[in-house]
Amino acid sequence: MTHSPLNSAPIATKIAHPLTSHQHTRNDNYYWMRDDSRSDAEVLGHLKAENDYCDQMLAGQQPLRQTLFDELKNRIVKDDSTLPVKDGKYWYHSQISGEDEYSCYYRCTSQDGQNKQLLLDVNQCAQDQEYFDLGDFSISPDDSLMTYSQDTDGRRIYSIVFKDLNNDSLLSDTLEQTEGQVMWANDNKTVFYVKKDPETLLGSKVYRHKLGTDQSQDVLVFEEDDPSFYLSLGKSRDESLLFISLDATLETDTLVLDANSPDGEFMSLIEFHDGHEYQVDKLGQWFYIVTNWQAKNFRIMKATVETIFDRDQWVDVIAHRDDVLIEGVELFNQFYIVTQRQLGQIEFIVHLANGQSYPLNFDDPCYFACLGDNPEPESNNVRLYYSSLTTPGSTFEFDIDTRQRTLLKQQKVLGGFDATLYSAKRIFVTARDGVNIPVSLVYRDDLFNQNSTNPLLQYGYGAYGITIDPSFCSHTVSLLDRGFVYAIAHVRGSEMLGRQWYDDGKMLNKQNSFNDFIDISQALIKQGYCAKDKLFASGGSAGGLLMGTVLNQAPQLYLGVGLHVPFLDIVTTMLDQSIPLTTNEYDEWGNPAEKTYYDYMLGYSPYDNICAQDYPNLLVTTGLHDSQVQYFEPMKWVAKLRDFKTDNNMLVFKTDMDSGHGGASGRFKSLHEKALEMAFFINLLTSD
């Protein structure tokens, strides 16, 4: 079904496929490209033709791509290790060395490395695998057993393996088709896990497994019938309770079981209410709840075992504020730390047992920070991870008593990187509806000229309330050192400026995300941050939907755009519940089975709005085994775009036949994808 003369773009055969909803019919000429088995010869042949065409078109960029790959690789410290973290009687860390793609995991009886024991060599696990992802890694409460989960095809379906750490041998127990997560009961012989549906990829069933028994004997302890919920497992901070957490876009539910009685029945912890979202944890006699009950930006409340079910009996700890989004709380014996966001910036507030509180401060104008690995609630030292657009990833330890901050480790960046050569800032761009949109920028000082001469790469995501905070990426240095400005557009749909920022960029407000990105592009040109003919854009997954819509609505703004595992055929996908993860998304995008949402989504759907116009140069990538956005979405989009676009600009499509949504695995192998996009953009600046 593919016609492709030598050095010509593959032209896909059209087969009419009418799709009718609400008495409206669309014709999808490329519907035939969907093959859930990923074995159809015509489909695979077309993907190969696209890959061959991509290789032909980009062959001249190979020297630049190799140069960039070498730069990226040579910035990475070949022999590196994580900081040891104390959990119980052992200190845990990982190491990676030489040309190894993956880490080795160890534990020691002291922080200085005494009695070092190899727990897992991931390189051995990944041997002979084109793709490998290590999922959950856990140790039994008595430290004698270990589990790890592995995915070898990129579909995020994991098998779980058990290992006896006393004799370094694998147990016969293996759990297949799981989410990858294991929750240990306190008896050291019972675990709980979530099993995945191989078609929808939803985890709706929680099973109990007894060590030494076959998986076929595992007991179903919970099943969720509502496909809009994601299931996850957890353990309370004091390790007394086991949690089954159910999270939909707009509500939360939690079931609980005594960790010392794994054969018991999971019971509801909190009375369920529509629209109630929360996080809950327990330490000692108190449950702490981060809740949106009568608090759009969330507040923190607490309850006892006797009062936790009925939220009317909860007690306020941190009140709701209109200008502060509460993101979480970490519990310690003598204090707790609240993670919050104000004016788009993450903050940490320490609350002491005596009622006093104080912030843990950082200095950069824009940055990313999060609590590090702090497994022991009795500790008075807290680790935080910190990074900015000019500061490599750093782990700090704060002494809660003295309020002193100590830098424990900072990511080394080889190749002569000097942070003082670069500047970062946050600006605000006024969108067409008068709302101020934050933008994070970084550039190299001696190559920056705010007189409309620099090329600029603008990145965006804007969905699911996920905030893309400005953090250091050594890959970006290769662009900055070639005169690029790098910008993160914090469009509506994230939670950068609070929960309302998310609500204003989803469902029937989704067009705001696209308007914001376009308005930022225009402002960056107008304000001199980039030349009007040197603007690039990039986004992946839901950010790929952002790119696809922006390309239909304002293609003239961009010289080149990268779309990676992009969500492009939103209406058809959201109408089909057999496509993985669709039912979880209704409260994000809307359900097009309802005409109001159908009409609105159809108005911006990247696939449905392709038209006869000029488009910029485009690089599209995907993975054949993608579990989040199916390969056929970008495949169809590219085929249709080839039929409609009126320009001679480049359109190349690359499919990794071995990977999934996260791309290639391994620390070096994945760099080829980064080098591919950067070479694509840089080459456009020098092409005639």
| Tens-place pLDDT, residues 243-298 | 999 999 899 999 999 999 999 999 999 999 999 999 999 999 999 999 999 999 99
Q: Which is nearest to 193 in space by CA: 179, 173, 212?
A: 179
Structural domain of residue 138, as residue ranges?
129-269
Is beta strand 241-247 parallel, antiparallel or unpaired with respect to 299-303? Answer: unpaired
Give the active site residue among 28, 46, 661, 665.
661
Is beta strand 405-410 parallel, antiparallel or unpaired with respect to 169-178? Answer: unpaired
- The residue-averaged pLDDT of 375-393 equals 96
Instruction: Decide if 674 is inside a domain.
Output: yes
CA angle 272, 276, 277 (to 5 degrees): 115
Q: Which is nearest to 660 in space by CA: 636, 615, 627?
A: 627
Query: Residue 530 is encoded by which pair of tokens?
Result: 């980039």
Split into its structural domains, the chain has a count of 3
Check residue 368 and give its pLDDT: 95
Q: Is 626 a catalytic residue?
A: yes
pLDDT in tens, 552-564: 999 999 999 999 9
Residues near 74 by beta carbon (within 8 Å), at least 6 away in sequence: 414, 415
**206, 234, 269: which is the final residue of a domain?**
269
Query: Residue 260 is encoded by which pair of tokens?
Result: 């010392």
Contact assessment for residue 477 and residue 469, using Cβ atoms and an 8 Å cutoff: no
Q: How far is CA 653 from CA 42, 223, 277, 611, 621, in A?
A: 17, 40, 40, 19, 6
Looking at the fold, whether 152 and 59 belong to one and the same domain comes out as no
Check residue 664 and give its pLDDT: 66
Query: Residue 684 is encoded by which pair of tokens?
Result: 């456009």
Check residue 662 and give its pLDDT: 67
Q: Which is nearest to 603 in space by CA: 563, 549, 649?
A: 549
Q: Is 541 a catalytic residue?
A: yes
Looking at the fold, whether 606 and 643 belong to one and the same domain comes out as yes
| Cα distance between residue 513 and residue 460, in whole Å | 9
Instruction: Decide if 221 is inside a domain.
Output: yes
Q: Which is nearest to 390 in space by CA: 308, 286, 472?
A: 472
Q: Which residue has the tokens 């694998």?
A: 170
Confidence of residue 3 (pLDDT cuts 50, 70, 90): low
| Cα distance between residue 127 and residue 603, in whole Å | 47
Averaged pLDDT score across all residues of the chain: 94
Q: Please report, for the domain that includes residue 546, its CATH number.
A: 3.40.50.1820
Looking at the fold, whether 151 and 244 belong to one and the same domain comes out as yes
Backbone angles phi, psi at 583, to 5 degrees: -65, -20
pLDDT in tens, 405-444: 999 999 999 999 999 999 999 999 999 999 999 999 999 9
Check residue 623 and give its pLDDT: 93
Instruction: Decide if 455 is inside a domain.
Output: yes
Looking at the fold, whether 84 and 66 belong to one and the same domain comes out as no
| Cα distance between residue 202 and residue 209, in whole Å | 20
Residues near 332 by beta carbon (within 8 Å), at least 6 away in sequence: 283, 374, 377, 378, 379, 380, 382, 400
Instruction: Decide if 613 is inside a domain.
Output: yes
Looking at the fold, whether 102 and 68 belong to one and the same domain comes out as no
Q: Which is nearest to 150 in space by CA: 189, 118, 179?
A: 179
Q: Which is nearest to 524 in space by CA: 428, 604, 596, 614?
A: 428
Contact assessment for residue 337 and residue 377, using Cβ atoms and an 8 Å cutoff: no
Q: Which is nearest to 10 in space by CA: 30, 31, 40, 36?
A: 30
Looking at the fold, whether 212 and 103 belong to one and the same domain comes out as no
Looking at the fold, whether 422 and 569 belong to one and the same domain comes out as yes
Q: Which is nearest to 81 in space by CA: 111, 55, 52?
A: 111
Confidence of residue 6 (pLDDT cuts 50, 70, 90): very low
Instruction: Provide the edge-to-edge strand list for the sheet that holds 345-352.
Output: 324-331, 335-342, 345-352, 357-360
pTM: 0.92
pLDDT in tens, 655-664: 998 877 766 6
**247, 269, 291: which is the final residue of a domain?**
269
Confidence of residue 665 (pLDDT cuts 50, 70, 90): low
Q: Is 670 a catalytic residue?
A: no
Check residue 200 and give its pLDDT: 77
Q: Does the pLDDT value for residue 390 go beyond 60?
A: yes
Looking at the fold, whether 103 and 232 belong to one and the same domain comes out as no
Instruction: Decide if 248 is inside a domain.
Output: yes
Instruction: Decide if 407 is inside a domain.
Output: no
Residues 276-312 as b/e (b if ≥16 CB within 10 A, e otherwise) read bbbbbbbbeebbbbbbbbebebbbbbbbeeeebeebe
| Cα distance between residue 151 and residue 160, in whole Å | 9
Looking at the fold, whether 65 and 110 belong to one and the same domain comes out as no
Check residue 670 and give its pLDDT: 85
Q: Does the pLDDT value for residue 1 go beyond 60?
A: no
Q: Which residue has the tokens 């819509």?
A: 549
Q: Which is nearest to 665 in space by CA: 62, 203, 156?
A: 156
Contact assessment for residue 554 and residue 518, using Cβ atoms and an 8 Å cutoff: yes
Contact assessment for residue 431 and residue 437, using Cβ atoms and an 8 Å cutoff: yes
Looking at the fold, whether 442 and 589 belong to one and the same domain comes out as yes
Confidence of residue 2 (pLDDT cuts 50, 70, 90): low
Residues near 615 by beta carbon (within 8 Å), at least 6 away in sequence: 551, 555, 641, 645, 647, 649, 651
Q: Does the pLDDT value for residue 304 go beyond 90?
A: yes
H or E stretch at 601: helix 595-604
- The residue-averaged pLDDT of 208-215 equals 97
**235, 252, 269: which is the final residue of a domain?**
269
Instruction: Decide if 209 is inside a domain.
Output: yes
Q: Does the pLDDT value for residue 5 go beyond 60?
A: no
Query: Residue 303 is encoded by which pair of tokens?
Result: 């309850």
Written in H, E and C, the secondary structure of 520-572 is: HHHHHHHCCCCCCCCEEEEEECHHHHHHHHHHHHCHHHCCEEEEECCCCCHHH
End-to-end Cα distance, the chain: 33
Check residue 659 and give its pLDDT: 76
Q: Does the pLDDT value for residue 199 go beyond 80?
A: no
Give the active site residue among 103, 140, 474, 541.
541
Looking at the fold, whether 468 and 582 belong to one and the same domain comes out as yes
pLDDT in tens, 139-150: 999 999 999 999
CA angle 128, 132, 134 (to 5 degrees): 130
Query: Residue 126 is encoded by which pair of tokens?
Result: 């990944």
Looking at the fold, whether 569 and 440 belong to one and the same domain comes out as yes
Give the active site residue among 133, 247, 626, 656.
626
Instruction: Decide if 628 is inside a domain.
Output: yes
